Structure 1
């Protein structure tokens, strides 16, 4: 990784981004995103180098001599996705074709992961583009890249891509929802904390070690639901969710029993994604209950392993693939 860092720094020396920052800030940020996904060192090195073939004088032969076949193949894969990839149609069928092409072009899923990280950093810095370019890139992100992140189970990345896209496509709606969520957080904080306290007390009594988290539905998801169902923000039954993370599958079902003994479940709002996982490997128990002071809230229950997959998807599995178990958690510390 250190060699890749210095190689990429030299390759991009003198280049600048629209923000005025040195171009190298971009591959470094992409590598950080990939490292946060706990990918292997080869993938992080390729992330640092992902633009050298396209945006510098570095040749494939020079890259091969310096870093070998695997890194070169990943960088070539990302470059192929950059070159000749154009988004011209808004028709649903055409978008689907582009999604399939995108995945088919990647012989190694790590290429897709680097490309998603590349797009995420570009979205984070999109404000420096002109208005038309912002909207084009945001729409492409929303209709192609975010769904790919979803298919790979990379929830955290999907959410950020969707929210950033909405911010640039409909900033007025984004800000209105954001203000509404902040207001409801303040209004309902006491009920949320009371629900967490009651669950924690019952877990302790049952001898179950677990972590209880709370979250509000993310902005783009709220935006979609409000439009589809013609509801007010306050009326969304899954606006607030508690997440209980425990050690074993058996404890997941025990927690479900505890939650249903505390509060009445809402009919038709229970999903067992442990017994029947989603196609993107997601597993959890979902139930919606009438919580403290009549507050509807969703409760998600999962193990720590399920939580890693829920957040990082295919990336969570990669270090176990083909016997690769090397930890890279601290590779960028």
Structure 2
């Protein structure tokens, strides 16, 4: 992420400016020291300009959003990291939690899990305050709690603990006032770690591929969520299925989409994430899709998910205040 550069026009658009308005901002006291007018800017510049200009969106109570499917290979990490980065790019304060021992979410934002002093393991097992495990990215609005192979033993470490299902929820309480969103990227399995993730979340995003094998993981996940509602009285406020890697030219993809609409229509996002090779290319370079290619189909579709979901949050906030 340190190598990410925004062309001048793109940088102005992110701030909601025209290029002429950006020229005025370049020369404002407190910003001219950053270098004045330039052809390109970095993520740190974006954060500095937002802070100096007061160009952040209104703060909100932290929303905890989990990306999870018990089936692997659904593109969950590409979606979750791109979603988290885009929210931060728009000025929201975001904490990205990598729960997967492979550390792919950590890599997708430019860090190596094995090089980090602390991970989520230290938070959940050794009671380290989560703020001490936070890694600050070049984009000041985006923070990360990393993961590495040590996380592969976390279910065994949590097993003998009292209140083991609520360790993550309790840890997040300490930073609830620092972030607008907490985005959790979970491994494709069910155990105590993912139980913690579900019990910590307000919203569940379930990425699925347009094939019928994805339905097996989907059915198990919905059964699990229903059991948690009954046994532990935890009710997710939103459950959204994201159809990912969709290619409308293939018959099986069209049939899978139709089946999802028939059986899970009330949960299915209106936005379909189209097949996009740029996701894999961006991930391999440790760069979110919006920094790698903001004009790609993948970036457009992630933005559509945000545009679709934000009004729901606003409506729910109005219901609570009424």
TM-score (norm 1): 0.30
Bigger helix fraction:
1
Give the greater-gyration-radius structure (CA).
Answer: 1
Higher strand share: 2
Between the two structures, name the one with larger relative contact order (CA 8 Å, sep ≥ 6): 2
Normalised to the residue count of structure 2, the TM-score between the two structures is: 0.31
